[in-house]
């Protein structure tokens, strides 16, 4: 089973999660003021998820590894969950690379 984008409304804003085939969230978007902007964000993940330089591998203040994905202009598109290890984070990056290009969007707005 391949991944998909789960597009939804959060209050008066829009956001999406990229989910793996097992329905686990692998990337959470920024919040957008319009649905069209959120859809543009999905297009940006599709385009940028294959570019290694777009990933920033980070460590939270509590020591938990995570990553962010940015567009070519440096603007953040989304971030991962907090992982228990750098190896788990790296598997998360690999999952975004594998699932990012998916054309499937579940529109729950």
How many domains would you assign to the chain? 1
pLDDT of res. 2:
86
Question: Which residues in the chain show pLDDT less than 70?
Answer: 1
Residue 1's pLDDT is 59
Residue in 64, 69, 59 with CA at minimum distance from that of residue 93 = 69
DSSP per-residue string spanning 75-93: -EEEE----SSHHHHHHHH
pTM comes to 0.92
Q: Are 14 and 34 spatial neighbours (Cβ–Cβ below 8 Å)?
A: yes
d(CA 106, CA 96): 17
We report the CATH number of the domain holding residue 29 as 2.30.29.80
Q: Decide: 18 and 78 in contact? Cβ < 8 Å.
A: yes
pLDDT at 10: 87
Domain ranges, residue 41: 4-107
Q: Say which residues have a Cβ less than 8 Å from residue 37's Cβ, sequence separation at least 6.
A: 14
Residue 94's pLDDT is 97
Residue count (the chain):
109
């Amino acid at each position: 089973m391949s991944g998909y984008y789960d597009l939804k409304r959060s209050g008066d804003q829009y956001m999406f999660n990229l989910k793996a085939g097992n329905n686990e969230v692998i990337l959470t978007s920024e919040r957008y003021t319009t649905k069209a902007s959120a859809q543009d964000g999905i297009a940006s993940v599709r385009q940028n998820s294959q570019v290694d330089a777009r990933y920033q591998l980070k460590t939270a203040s509590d020591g938990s590894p995570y990553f962010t994905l940015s567009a070519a202009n440096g603007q953040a598109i989304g971030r991962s969950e907090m992982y228990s290890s750098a190896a788990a984070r790296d598997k998360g990056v690999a999952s975004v690379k594998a699932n990012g290009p998916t054309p499937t969007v579940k529109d729950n707005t």
